[in-house]
Every structure is written in C-alpha cells, then in structure tokens.
Amino acid sequence: LVWADAGYAGRMVTFATKVLAFTVEIVKRADDQVGFKLLHRRWVVERTFAWISKYRRCVRDYERRIDTSEAMIHTAMIMTMSRRLAR
C-alpha cells in the first residue's frame, strides 16, 4: 500500500497499479478546509523525507546513476533505523 498526495492522482496511480502492482491511496484534504489541518498518513511521508534529507549525499542529486542514488537512500534509511533499534 502506497500513500500519495493529491498531486499524484491520475496517471501515476494507473502506472503503479498496472506496472508495479502497488495499491495507491490518494490522501486528499477536504474541499471546505481553510488553513492547516493534519492529514491522515501524510505526515509519514514528510517525516521519512526529513530523515533521508539528514544525510548530505541525499540532499542534492550528486549521483549520475539511478542505482547509486537508490543505494544512498537505502544506506540513509539503514542508518536511521539501526540507530532507532539500538536505543
């Protein structure tokens, strides 16, 4: 299950369902909403991006190959999770 912002609705949902075999759930805000309101599950994505951005090589796109960039993201998450498990 993948949660996505309303900006990703449309072709991305179709691609993820057909090609990647993921179930995509779009998190939308209410039409009458004014100001900030915490959306269900959206904070999980924002928090994860913040954890990844703590590592310098993940902040900018230094890598030339996609697999190297993906490896840096895996490394950042491994380091984050291992620190949390070591507590």
Residue 86 maps to a domain: yes
The residue whose two tokens read 């990703």 is: 8
Q: 27 — phi, psi (to 5°)?
A: -95, 110
Judge if 62 and 86 occupy the same domain.
yes
What is the per-residue pLDDT across 46-67, written as a single tens digit (0 to 9) for each? 888 889 999 888 888 888 899 9
Dist. CA 10–CA 1, nearest whole Å = 17
Put simply, whether the predicted model's pTM sits higher than 0.85 gets the answer: no
Q: At residue 59, what is the residue type?
A: V
The whole-number pLDDT of residue 83 equals 92
Residues facing 24 on adjacent strands: 2
Judge if 21 and 51 occupy the same domain.
no
Task: Report CA 51 to chain centroid distance, whole Å.
Answer: 10
What is the per-residue pLDDT across 13-35, written as a single tens digit (0 to 9) for each? 888 889 999 988 888 777 787 88
Containing structural domain, residue 22 = 1-28
Q: Domain count for the chain, please give it.
A: 2
